[in-house]
Amino acid sequence: MNVVVVNNFDRMSEEVAKIMIKQITQKPKSVLGLATGSSPLRVYKLLVEYHNRGADFSGLTTFNLDEYVGLSKEHPQSYRQYMNENFFSHVNIKPENTFVPSGVTEDPEEECRLYEQSIKQAGGIDMQILGIGSNAHIGFNEPGTPFDSITQVVDLSESTIKDNARFFDTIEEVPTKAISMGIKTIMQAKEIVLMANGGSKAKAIYGAVMGRITPEVPASVLQLHPSVTIVVDQAAASKL
């Protein structure tokens, strides 16, 4: 596990963008696993700037980690909307090669099965980008999720619902379920890059990097992966 400690959010974003650009340059047909939330926002901006300077993203395929159950792709807080607004609609990735689970499918179990199948058909994920929850979740795999889990419907923990309420008008509007890649799905990526900033992530980062490997601290599983880079600002690294 390679831990990179930087000064602040901007430096963290630059470091992660640099790693992704290297991946895209080396393999223009990369399959990328992508995250939403606050952490990667500036990374997407930097990738858009890179595209505006002439970089071609038309060979990429992307798989997002998760989507809220119950939110359609047009819903302003859906992760599909987030990806369109912050990244996809500003670059030349082919829309048909951007995968985000559907939150409004009639058969969520089938949606999960097909999502796993699409990842396999694409040849697996070359580089998975992750944020981390204050409870150390990765994707929406909350504490207690078995390490052998694959894409499935999950219940969001109370702390995640509280953390994500900032994006909604009221806490009651925050969905309580999501479709999330499983821990095993994430661990099958050839390379993993996790980013975190701020003191609210310090305990989770300690658990991910130095804690006991246990499903109670989902990100601790990353210690078992052969190629992980963790990019953190000083506040998130403060317990290391």
Return residues touching ligand F6R (CB under 6 A).
Answer: 35-39, 65-66, 131-133, 137-140
Catalytic residue (one of 64, 135, 164, 197):
135
Residue 119 token pair = 């990842």
Q: Cβ 41 to ligand F6R, closest distance in Å?
A: 8
Q: Cβ 56 to ligand F6R, closest distance in Å?
A: 25
The question of whether 142 is a catalytic residue gets the answer yes
Catalytic residue (one of 66, 111, 126, 191):
66
Check residue 182 and report its DSSP letter: -
The residue among 60 and 83 lying less far from ligand F6R, judged by its C-beta, is: 83
The question of whether 135 is a catalytic residue gets the answer yes
Longest Cα–Cα distance in the chain? 46
The residue among 55 and 81 lying less far from ligand F6R, judged by its C-beta, is: 81
Neighbouring-strand partners of residue 128? 33, 192
Q: Cβ 172 to ligand F6R, closest distance in Å?
A: 19
Identity of the amino acid at 69: V
Query: In a 10 Å sphere around its CB, with 0-12 CB exposed, 13-18 middle and 19+ buried, how is residue 76 labelled?
Result: exposed
The residue among 58 and 89 lying less far from ligand F6R, judged by its C-beta, is: 89
Task: Report the residue closest to ligand F6R, judged by CB.
Answer: 131
Q: What share of the chain is helix, strand, coil (3-state, %, to 5)?
A: 40, 20, 40
The residue among 139 and 211 lying less far from ligand F6R, judged by its C-beta, is: 139
The question of whether 66 is a catalytic residue gets the answer yes
145-170 residues labelled b (16+ CB within 10 A) or e (exposed): bebebbbbebebbeebbebbeeeeee
Give the DSSP H or E segment for 42.
Answer: helix 41-52
Q: Cβ 176 to ligand F6R, closest distance in Å?
A: 15
Q: Is 3 helix (H, G, I), strand (E, B) or coil?
A: strand
Q: Which residues are catalytic?
A: 66, 135, 137, 142
